[in-house]
């Protein structure tokens, strides 16, 4: 049966969040083309659609892609996203996250594709002055990664004004969990995110989890974050896509659960879900980590009716554990 809803280019669709997006788009009967250079992604995460290996900074590849398909919209997940690495290699980050995105936007304008959904981040806010963080909180990133994302946000606003490029900016807080089927999930090498590392410690793949800092001004001294399920992130994109298809104006939304959990609380929840001991050692703060990041997601709730379906941290961890166990076998 032919797909009826449209054709979407998913850039970075072989990555963690992008692969969950591809699955939801296919389920919602969109045709999906994935552009991914597999730099941090993995072919085995791609759940369907047409994978075109290549870089979004390659104008020739883009021209061929846009000439060969009638895209209704582009979803852009491709980026490097390790904060610490961005501090040491800013040129690599500005090249990959900003310059390559410029090439993609140029191709879109050239081929008259004017709907765009962008994966931004809580890192655009920097050190928050108020919690929960609303979208009108000042944007003062504290690292090059956040700077590159904010630069793209500003570029998008200018492209809307000049070329009518309608876009939705989605500022994710901490993406976590895996699809319930257990066949796609977080697969980074090296892994830097808390929950997958905690689960590696639970299964004995690593000796312990190191807690970065126990002297923050939080209830137990460890950093507080807002964990949001990867399928909830993908569902927000579907809602944003629907809105853009119906002529919505450009908008910026936070995506979080609005609940904050400390690193110690995440470890405790993981112990309870896995039934494993999870050895912990404490270490110094990781440079650049704000003490508390918790989203207000009221704006997208009101505008698009989005609400996380995976509301509890335990449920989120359970889906990640399910994926982790299937990986091991």
Please report, as ranges, the residues that interact with ligand GDU according to CB under 6 A. 81, 83, 121-123, 174, 192-194, 197, 209-212, 223, 225, 263, 286, 289, 293
Q: Assess whether 145 carries a catalytic annotation.
A: yes
Binder of residue 197, out of ligand NAD, ligand GDU, none (CB less than 5 to 8 A by kind): ligand GDU
Of the listed 16, 30, 145, 227, which one is catalytic?
A: 145
Contact map string, positions 33 to 62, toward ligand NAD, x by CB under 6 A: --xxxxxxx-------------xxx-----
The candidate with the shortest Cα–Cα distance to 233, out of 179, 281, 283, 273, is 179
For residue 94, the minimal CB distance to ligand GDU (Å) is 16
- Phi and psi at 99, nearest 5°, equal -60, -45
42-74 residues labelled b (16+ CB within 10 A) or e (exposed): beebbbebebbebbbbbeebbeebbeebebbbb
Assigned token pair, 224: 């507080």
- Asked if residue 132 binds ligand NAD (CB under 6 A), the reply is no
SS3 117: strand
For residue 82, the minimal CB distance to ligand NAD (Å) is 9
Helix axes 59-68, 100-110, angle to 10 degrees: 30
State which residue, 72 or 100, has the beta carbon closest to ligand NAD.
100
State which residue, 128 or 282, has the beta carbon closest to ligand NAD.
128
Binder of residue 119, out of ligand GDU, ligand NAD, none (CB less than 5 to 8 A by kind): ligand NAD
Alpha carbons 154 and 38: distance in angstroms, whole number = 27
**Per-residue DSSP letter, 5:** S
Strands (E), 13-144: 31-36, 50-53, 73-76, 115-121
Binder of residue 263, out of ligand GDU, ligand NAD, none (CB less than 5 to 8 A by kind): ligand GDU
**Stretch of 171-179, 234-242, 265-273, 289-297 lying at the interface with ligand NAD (CB under 6 A):** 171-179
Instruction: Report the phi/psi class of residue 222: left, alpha or beta, with left for phi > 0 and alpha for psi in -120 to 50.
Output: beta
State which residue, 42 or 214, has the beta carbon closest to ligand GDU.
214
Strands (E), 226-286: 227-229, 251-255, 261-262, 280-283
State which residue, 31 or 100, has the beta carbon closest to ligand NAD.
100
Residues that bind ligand NAD (CB under 6 A): 12, 14-18, 35-41, 55-57, 77-79, 81, 96, 100, 119, 121, 172, 174-175
Q: Which residues are catalytic?
A: 145
């Amino acid at each position: 049966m032919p797909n009826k809803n449209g054709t979407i280019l998913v850039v970075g669709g072989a990555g963690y969040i992008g692969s969950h997006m591809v699955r939801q788009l296919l389920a919602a009967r969109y045709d999906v083309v994935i552009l991914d250079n597999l730099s941090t992604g993995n072919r085995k995460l791609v759940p369907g659609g047409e994978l075109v290996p290549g870089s979004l900074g390659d104008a020739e590849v883009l021209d061929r892609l846009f000439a060969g398909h009638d895209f209704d919209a582009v979803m852009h997940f491709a980026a490097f996203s390790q904060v610490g690495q961005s501090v040491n290699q800013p040129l690599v980050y500005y090249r990959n996250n900003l310059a390559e995105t410029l090439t993609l936007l140029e191709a879109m304008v050239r081929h008259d594709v004017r709907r765009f959904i962008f994966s931004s981040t809580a890192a655009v806010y920097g050190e928050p002055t108020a919690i929960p963080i609303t979208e009108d909180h000042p944007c003062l990133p504290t690292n090059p990664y956040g700077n590159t994302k904010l630069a793209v946000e500003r570029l998008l606003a200018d492209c809307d004004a000049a070329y009518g490029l309608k876009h939705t900016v989605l500022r994710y807080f901490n993406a976590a969990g895996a699809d319930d089927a257990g066949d796609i999930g977080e697969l980074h090498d090296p892994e830097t995110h808390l929950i997958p590392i905690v689960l590696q410690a639970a299964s004995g793949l690593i000796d312990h989890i190191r807690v970065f800092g126990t002297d923050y001004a939080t209830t137990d001294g460890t950093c507080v974050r807002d964990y949001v399920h990867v399928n909830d992130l993908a569902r927000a994109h579907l809602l944003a896509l629907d809105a853009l298809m119906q002529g919505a104006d450009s908008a910026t939304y936070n995506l979080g659960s609005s609940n904050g959990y400390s690193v110690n609380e995440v470890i405790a929840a993981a112990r309870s879900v896995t039934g494993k001991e999870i050895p912990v050692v404490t270490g110094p703060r990781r440079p650049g980590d704000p003490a508390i990041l918790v989203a207000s997601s009221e704006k997208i709730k009101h505008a698009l009716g989005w609400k996380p379906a995976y509301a509890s941290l335990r449920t989120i961890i359970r889906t990640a554990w399910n994926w982790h166990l299937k990986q091991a076998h």
